[in-house]
Amino acid sequence: MSADIHFIDLKAQKERLGDRIEQAIGRVLAHGQFIMGPEVDALEERLAAFCGARFAISCASGTDALLLVLMAEGIGPGDAVFVPSFTFVATAEAPAILGATPVFVDVHPDTFTLDVSSLRAAIKDVQRLDLRPRAIIPVDLFGQPADYAAIDAVAAEDGLFVLADAAQSFGGAVGERRVGTFGKATATSFFPSKPLGCYGDGGAVFTNDAALATRVRSLRMHGRGSDKYDNLHVGINGRLDTLQAAILLEKLTIFEEELAARTRIAEQYRVSLPAAVRCQKLQDGVRSAWAQFTVVAENRASLADACRKSGVPTAIYYPRPLHLQPAYACCPTSPGGCPVAERLATRVISLPMHPYLDEAVQSHIIEAVSNAIV
């Protein structure tokens, strides 16, 4: 069995879809509209309907989705953009590319998402640095929506806008409200290993703000106006390929079912793993998209080693917080620093998580972890 355990299993998903992806690709090859073909519009409509956002604008990657919103909001030099330190680099990269200053905020030790008291302290502190506080980018780490109720309140007090980094959480929810409807805008990614992934790079922006949607649509096509050779803004080439849209349309039809499977598998881990590995805590009423199932283990190296010997692949997201990365070490942190991010970076470990993990395989994984802990 051990040779068969996948950390993420895209092959099983492909089998589940039968020949539908090949047929979808075949249709695009036949009509030949590889850029902004009809599948792109169809996908945007379905994505908006899926999450309940007024507008969905597809784009070339999750990184571009973040970048496009910040560009549309005119973020640039002198602006402070608050981001958690414990995240994938793209969250900080997007403001940095525009010449703005990412300010690193700590995360909560149990939920692993943005810590609101660290955020408040950071916003107060940047005035001292001669930076204008402009935006907050909470990250829905491992699929769990950040604490938007508390973050929105802070943003409203200080006149900042919230851009949700939902690269890992599309499909998640808080109560009845789905990811895609939090903050002023939401950025997601369709990188292959994300909960809803294509077969290459892809992403999308969601918003209820018509003016912002129009601006983002323009910016992803070189800042175009009424036609191709009318350039209103300095934009980028940030479109989603028609082929990827066609693939996503097929995958979206089974996405709800996949989310339910992820929830079931996560629940099984949560009730069966030994107490010595601490699972990511979910906030009340939150539904995670379970991009990753991540635990905190005091002796991570020996756990990873024992798992490997039992044929169980593991991964570490993320081994180094961003404020300690060479490229970002010059950026400010919240006054207390980011000690929780530093501690988590040395202790977190992620277990196999995908909708096609069957019960027998999951039992084997749980047994391998249990044996490693005692």
Ligand X SMILES: *Cc1c(COP(=O)(O)O)cnc(C)c1O
- Residue ranges binding ligand X (CB under 6 A): 61-63, 87-88, 90-91, 139, 165, 167-168, 189, 191, 201, 203
d(C-alpha 359, C-alpha 225), whole Å: 53
Q: How far is the CB of 210 from ligand X (least distance, A)?
A: 25
Q: What is the dihedral of CA 265, 175, 141, 260, to 10 degrees?
A: 20
Cβ closest to ligand X, residue 90 vs residue 213: 90
Q: How far is the CB of 152 from ligand X (least distance, A)?
A: 19
**Residues, the chain, total?**
374
> Would you give the distance in Å from CA 223 to the centre of its chain?
26
Closest CA to 254 of 17, 84, 10, 3: 17
Tokens of 132: 């204008």
Q: How far is the CB of 317 from ligand X (least distance, A)?
A: 8
Cβ closest to ligand X, residue 171 vs residue 361: 171
269 backbone dihedrals φ, ψ, rounded to 5° = -60, -45
Cβ closest to ligand X, residue 106 vs residue 165: 165
Q: How far is the CB of 215 from ligand X (least distance, A)?
A: 20
Q: How far is the CB of 251 from ligand X (least distance, A)?
A: 15
Cβ closest to ligand X, residue 115 vs residue 165: 165
Q: How far is the CB of 93 from ligand X (least distance, A)?
A: 8
Cβ closest to ligand X, residue 181 vs residue 292: 292
Cβ closest to ligand X, residue 61 vs residue 181: 61
Cβ closest to ligand X, residue 113 vs residue 333: 113
Q: How far is the CB of 350 from ligand X (least distance, A)?
A: 12
Cβ closest to ligand X, residue 137 vs residue 265: 137
Closest CA to 297 of 221, 373, 227, 232: 373
Q: How far is the CB of 167 from ligand X (least distance, A)?
A: 3
Residue 34, number of CB atoms within 10 A of its CB: 11
Residue nearest ligand X, Cβ-based = 62
351 backbone dihedrals φ, ψ, rounded to 5° = -100, 165
Q: How far is the CB of 193 from ligand X (least distance, A)?
A: 8
DSSP letters, 26-46, are HHHHHH---BS-HHHHHHHHH
Q: Where are the strands (E) in 71-169, listed by range?
A: 79-84, 101-105, 132-136, 161-165
d(C-alpha 104, C-alpha 173), whole Å: 25
Which residues make Cβ contacts (< 8 Å) with residue 39, sequence separation at least 6? 24, 28, 242, 245, 246, 249
Residue 209, number of CB atoms within 10 A of its CB: 15
Cβ closest to ligand X, residue 125 vs residue 140: 140
Angle between helices 255-272 and 359-373 (to 10 degrees): 30
d(C-alpha 130, C-alpha 119), whole Å: 17
Q: Which amino acid is it at 325?
A: Q
